[in-house]
Amino acid sequence: MKYIVIGGVAGGASFSCRLRRLDENAKITIYEKTNFVSYANCGLPYYISGVISKEESLTLQTPLSLKERFNLDVKVNHEVIKINPTKKEVVVKNLLSNEEFVDCYDKLIIATGANAIKITEDYNGVFTLKTVEDSIRIKKYIINNNIKEAVVIGGGFIGLEILENLKELGLKLTLIEGGKHILPNIDLEMASFLHEELKKNDIDLILEKKVTKIINEGNLINIYLNDKVYKTKLLIEAIGVKPASSLAINSNLELDLKNAIKINEDFKTSNEDIYAIGDVTLIKSDIDNELYYLPLAGNANKEGRLLADKLVLGDDTSLKACGTSILKLFSLNVASTGFSEEVLKRKNIHYQKIYLSPANHATYYPNANPLIMKVLLADDYSILGAEIIGKDGVDKRIDLLAMAIKFKIKAYELKKLELAYAPPFGSAKDPINMIGFMAENLKNGLIKQFYAEDIKQIIKDNDAILIDVRTKKEYAYNHIARSVNIPVDELRKNLAKIPLNKKIYLICHSAIRSYVASRILIQKGYNVSHLAGGMIIYNAYLKSIKEGEE
């Protein structure tokens, strides 16, 4: 059996190596149009800054190493320019010699990945970051032209990672994001913590401004917004990616949304002998079972292995994803899994949400830092999504929540999880357990919540009383209009001041004291709700609203 694999990065390399481990007799050829194969494209921004100092550190394998260990015939600088499904042939162009030739296959695997979305032409000083060659070009350009400042368009993963690494080189930076906030996988109020982090690092953040045109004038790139022009010698376009599906289009293979190649659960295209994996395809969601575009290296690698298992062993290839991701942004880490609140609203999926801000490990152990956590729950308390921001401990908590989504663990069941504990690593009641306790309280009607976005309407309600249960000092520093201050430890002796016929809304710093106060008042017969996330989330919400108005 002869297999031709188009694309030798995540999906293509994973498929080919797994196939060889299962079938020593298969003939396997990989055509990769760049000069590198099986490279770590997630590490590219860190090469530019020098955090990853050696170019060879980015390449996990070479054509020679793949030949020696796996007997793979790897052709770099070779682009498949045409597929002839009827004859089961591909036309290949050697990009170094410009010669073309025909190769035949029994099974063809398309793993062409994604292409960077671009606004402008290939002007000098304008770059995207998708390949090892891109990172080398950017690094050389910065050094050769003594670049001191740059503009990045796009506040997604690549945009933020390259922003941080350009800052590492000492550049003055402007980030232009067309949306209301950076990172579309998280929500507005959570993103406000990241906006603050950018400002702390002297990043000029421009939100809700669309780039109308980009023009090269002299030795400067002019970036036109509706109300301003930015001039720079270095522009990084990090707007996003789209499926690299031109081969499939020209070969009359069926397409799906976003021009991704349409596949069945076995990765088979509309042609019996052609398969597609990775960023050129869509994937089903663990949340609602609908297809969506999720260009992540982890999924591409898993799909490559699953396809090889299917073709040789006949194994089940069904794969779903919840979009788990993590990003380092200066001193903070931000991670998410599942759907954001914005996505749930767009899909008209009913939900409730909980916020918490526990420490990453025992507070009595040095260097404890808060985790800002948001968890979105379905009516049956299954987990629809989660977002976490913090300095440490973000990764292991988001991974546990991703596992809970994958294996349909209800939020209240998290209270039972036995998790590793020692003071440097966590708390006896881990933040994941805390999510379980909070969900259980909601499920059993022991607590009711209101959200930051509800306060404006609550203030107008004459039947509502807002009670801030923080200390007098905290209240004096800042508080919500129309709220009165009764510290939680003084609540029982001040019950006569609280009318039983009013709706009571409780506020504190992080929703811990307001929860305790709620339990006191509810058992005394009061109609009580408390502010989810407390003033931490309310202040973040206010900040995000103001940013949108600027």
Residues marked active site are found at 42
Q: Determine the distance from the C-alpha atom of residue 484 to the mean position of all C-alpha atoms in its chain, rounded to a whole number.
A: 40
What phi and psi values does residue 539 have, to the nearest 5 degrees?
A: -65, -40
Show the tokens assigned to 369: 């830092």
Single-letter code of the amino acid located at 435 = I
Radius of gyration of the chain (CA): 27
Query: Which candidate, 277, 304, 276, 278, places its Cα nearest to that of 15?
Result: 304
Helices 10-22 & 297-313, crossing angle to 10 degrees?
30
Gap between the Cα atoms of 362 and 143, Å rounded:
45
Residues 6+ apart with CB under 8 A from 334: 183, 186, 190, 194, 326, 327, 387, 388, 389, 394
What phi and psi values does residue 528 have, to the nearest 5 degrees?
A: -125, 140
Helices 188-200 & 534-549, crossing angle to 10 degrees?
80
Show the tokens assigned to 497: 């001041």
Bridge partner residues of 391 (DSSP) = none
Q: How far is the CA of 22 from the CAs of 10, 17, 98, 158, 273, in angstroms?
A: 18, 9, 35, 35, 19
Bridge partner residues of 235 (DSSP) = 126, 151
Gap between the Cα atoms of 305 and 492, Å rounded:
62
Cβ–Cβ contacts within 10 Å for residue 8, how many?
A: 29
DSSP 402-451: HHHHHTT-BGGGGGG------TTT--SS-HHHHHHHHHHHHHTTS--EE-
Residues 6+ apart with CB under 8 A from 301: 10, 11, 14
Gap between the Cα atoms of 267 and 109, Å rounded:
9
In which order are the strands placed within the sheet that holds 204-207? 126-127, 235-237, 149-153, 172-177, 204-207
Number of H helices, E strands in the chain: 15, 31
What's the residue count for the chain? Answer: 550
Tell how strand 73-76 and strand 78-84 pair up. unpaired
Cβ–Cβ contacts within 10 Å for residue 296, how many?
A: 18
What phi and psi values does residue 257 have, to the nearest 5 degrees?
A: -60, 150
Q: Determine the distance from the C-alpha atom of residue 89 to the mean position of all C-alpha atoms in its chain, rounded to a whole number.
A: 38
Q: Determine the distance from the C-alpha atom of residue 472 to the mean position of all C-alpha atoms in its chain, rounded to a whole number.
A: 40
Q: How far is the CA of 512 from the CAs of 70, 231, 509, in angstroms?
A: 57, 49, 8
